[in-house]
Amino acid sequence: MPHGHCYFWRPEILWLSVVSDAIIAAAYYAIPVVLFLFARKKKDLPFIWMFFLFSGFILLCGTTHIFEIVTVWTPMYRVLVLTKAATAAISILTAVLLIPLIPKALSLRSPAELEAKNKELEREIRERKRMEILVREQQLQITQSAKMSALGEMAGGVAHEINNPLAGIKAVVSQMQELLAEPTVDVAMLREMAGDVEHTTDRIAKIVHGMRSFSRDSSADAHTQVTVADLIGETLDLCGERYRKHGIQLEVSRFDHRLSFTGNGTQVSQILLNLLNNAHDAVAELPEKWVKVEVRDTPEAIEFSVTDCGKGIPAPLRDKIFQPFFSTKEVGKGTGIGLSISLGLAQNHGGTLYLDPKSEHTHFVLRLPRRTGNAEVG
Amino acid sequence: MSKDPQDYTVLVVDDEEIIKKALVFDFKRRGFSVLAAVNGTDALALVRRNKVDLVLSDIRMPGGDGIALLENVRSEHPSVPMVILLSGFSDVDEAQCLARGARRVFKKPFDRKLLMQYVCESLGIEG
C-alpha cells in the first residue's frame, strides 16, 4: 500500500511531506559535494577518511528521503528500509570512529598557535643566519692568517732572494760611480752594468709582487682566467729558495703553457704553497730529497699534484690530516689548519683536494673542474 | 818590493750572477787572475785543478753549498784563505763559518772596497 494512504491522499499533507523530503534530499546531496570540493582544495587535510565517512552517511540519509517520496505512490518499503539500515550502519560506524578522533582533533594546532610557532621559527632562522655569517667571517680570518703563516714560513727564503740581488746591485752601482769618475768614460761598460741592474731589480720586483698578491685578502675576488704557467711560476718563486736552501730537488713536469682555468688564482696558489710547504717539511731531513709538481689536463678538470719522496701518510691519519688543528709537525711548527683550509678553498672552486692512497710516495691531488663559473666565490 | 796581483788567483763563488760578475770585474781590474763558479762542487773542482790563492764564496747555493766547500778547502788546501759572503738568512751564522775555518765573513750587502782591501791585505798586496 502506498504511503499516500496514510496521508488520506490529502494534498496539503502529502505535498508538504513530499516537498520537504525533496528539499532535505537535495540539501543532503549538496553537502558531500561541497565537502569533496573542500577536501580536494585543501591537500593536507587531516583525518580525510572521516570526510568520506560523513559524505557516505549524508548521501545515504538523502537517499532515504528520496525513497520516502517514492513510497508515497509506490510501496517500495523493502528498498526504503534497506537504505535506512545502510544509513544506520554507516552512521553508527561514523559515530564510533569519531570518538577516538576527538582528542586528536583537539591537539590540532589552531591558526593562531601556528602563527606564533611560525614567528618563533623565523626568529630561529634569522639567528642561525646571523651565526652562519659570523662563522664565515671567522673562517675568512682563519684562512687569511693561515696564508700569512704559510708566507711566514717562506719569509727567510724570500728575504734571502731579495737581499742577494740587492748586494749585487749595491756593488755594481758603486762600480758605475767609479767608472763615471774616470777621465774616459767607458759607455759600453756602463750600459752593460745598467742593464744588469735593471734586470736584477725586475727580478726583485717580481718577488715583491708575488708576495703582495699572495698576502692580500683575495676572498672577495671574482673568479678570473688564470694561466697555469703563471700560477706555478709565482708559487715557486715564493718557496723555491727554501727548497734550494735545504738541497731539495724540485721538479715540475712538462705541461701546456697555454693552459688556463677560471678561478681565484691567489687561493689556488695558497693551496699549492701549502702542499709545497708540507712536502718541504716532510723531506727536509731525509737523505734523498725530491718533490715533484705535476699538472694534468683532462676534458673535465685540471689536476695539480704535489708528490714528495716520503713514504706516504699512515692509513689511520689519512682522514685526520684534513681536520682543522690536526698536525703531525712538531709543536710550534705547524698550525694544523693548512690542509683543512686548502680543502675549503678547493671546494670553493667546486673541486677537491685529496691524498692518493695508492701512491707509494706522499701524493696530494688538487682537482679543479673545468667549469667553476657557478662556484661560490669565497 | 810589493807583490803583483797578477801572481795571485782569486776564486769567486756565487750563484747570484750580478754578484759574481761584479766581483770578477773588480778583481780583474785590480790585476788579479780570477776564476769563477756558481756552486761549491764546481768551485772545488777548480781549486783542485788550479793554483788558487784565495776563495771568496757564498754559502747558500744549489748544487753544493759554501760550507761543504769551506770544509773541503780547509782539509785539502789549509793554506788557502777562504772569505765567506753571508746573506744572513742561512742556517749557518758568522760564528759557525769562522769555527769551520773561514778567514773572514762579509755580510751581504757588503762594501766592495772593504772587501778588496781585505783580500789584498790577506795576500800581502798593498791596497
Which chain A residues are within 8 Å of B56, Cβ to Cβ?
Answer: none
**Min distance A323 CA to chain B CA atoms (Å):** 32
- Inter-chain CB proximity B113 and A174 less than 8 Å: yes
Residue A347 has pLDDT above 60, yes or no: yes
Does an H or E element contain A129, and which? Answer: helix A111-180
Determine contact: B53 vs chain A, CB below 8 A: no
Nearest to B109 among A159, A160, A170 (CB): A170
Burial of A152 (0-12, 13-18, 19+ CB in 10 A): exposed
The grid coordinates of residue A182 equal 774616470
Gap between the Cα atoms of A263 and A286, Å rounded = 35
Determine contact: A159 vs chain B, CB below 8 A: yes
Determine contact: B84 vs chain A, CB below 8 A: no
Q: Given this model, what pLDDT does residue A334 score? A: 61
Rounded mean pLDDT of A282-298? 91
Determine contact: B48 vs chain A, CB below 8 A: no
Determine contact: A247 vs chain B, CB below 8 A: yes
Determine contact: B23 vs chain A, CB below 8 A: yes
- Inter-chain CB proximity B16 and A174 less than 8 Å: no
**Min distance B112 CA to chain A CA atoms (Å):** 6
Q: Given this model, what pLDDT does residue A377 score? A: 37
pLDDT, greater one: A170 or A221? A170
Highest mean pLDDT among A168-177, A336-345, A362-371: A168-177
Helix, strand or coil for residue A180? helix
Tens-digit pLDDT profile for residues B83-114: 999 987 766 889 999 999 999 999 999 999 99
For an interface test with B, the pick among A161, A162, A163, A164 (most B C-beta atoms closer than 10 Å) comes out as A164
Contact B33, B9 (CB under 8 A): yes
Sorting pLDDT into bands at 50, 70 and 90, what band is B56? Answer: very high
Tens-digit pLDDT profile for residues A301-332: 999 999 999 888 888 887 778 876 677 766 55
Gap between the Cα atoms of A227 and A209, Å rounded = 17
Determine contact: A244 vs chain B, CB below 8 A: yes
Chain A residue with Cα closest to B109? A167
Q: Which DSSP state fits A358?
A: T
What is the secondary structure of A46-73 as a DSSP string? TTHHHHHHHHHHHHHHHHHHHHHHHHHH
Chain B residue with Cα closest to A162? B87
Sorting pLDDT into bands at 50, 70 and 90, what band is A151? Answer: confident
Buried b / exposed e over B71-81, threshold 16 CB at 10 Å, is ebbeeebeebb
Strands annotated E in chain A: 224-227, 249-252, 260-263, 290-297, 301-308, 352-355, 362-369
Q: Given this model, what pLDDT does residue A359 score? A: 86
Mean pLDDT for chain A? 86
Chain B residue with Cα closest to A167? B109
Determine contact: B114 vs chain A, CB below 8 A: no
Distances (CA, A) of A108 to A41, A46, A98, A105, A128: 19, 9, 15, 5, 28
Does an H or E element contain A144, and which? Answer: helix A111-180
Helix, strand or coil for residue A337? coil
Tens-digit pLDDT profile for residues A231-250: 999 899 888 888 887 889 99
**Min distance B19 CA to chain A CA atoms (Å):** 4
Q: How many CB atoms lie within 10 A of CB A111?
A: 7
Strands annotated E in B6-126: 9-13, 33-37, 54-58, 82-86, 104-107
The grid coordinates of residue A319 equal 682522514
The grid coordinates of residue A148 equal 700569512
Look up residue A287 and give its amino acid: P
Q: What is the CA radius of gyration of chain A?
A: 43
pLDDT, greater one: A52 or A327? A52
Gap between the Cα atoms of B91 and A276, Å rounded = 20
Which chain A residues are within 8 Å of B58, Cβ to Cβ?
Answer: 164
Percent of chain A with pLDDT over 70: 94
Angle CA(B21)–CA(B25)–CA(B30) in degrees, nearest 5?
150
Determine contact: A152 vs chain B, CB below 8 A: no
Residue A378 has pLDDT above 60, yes or no: no
Which chain B residues are within 8 Å of A164, Cβ to Cβ?
Answer: 16, 19, 58, 87, 108
Nearest to A168 among B16, B26, B61 (CB): B16
Gap between the Cα atoms of A175 and A329, Å rounded = 47
Which chain A residues are within 8 Å of B64, Cβ to Cβ?
Answer: none
Chain B residue with Cα closest to A201? B18
Tens-digit pLDDT profile for residues A18-45: 999 999 999 999 988 888 888 778 777 7
Rounded mean pLDDT of A104-114? 81
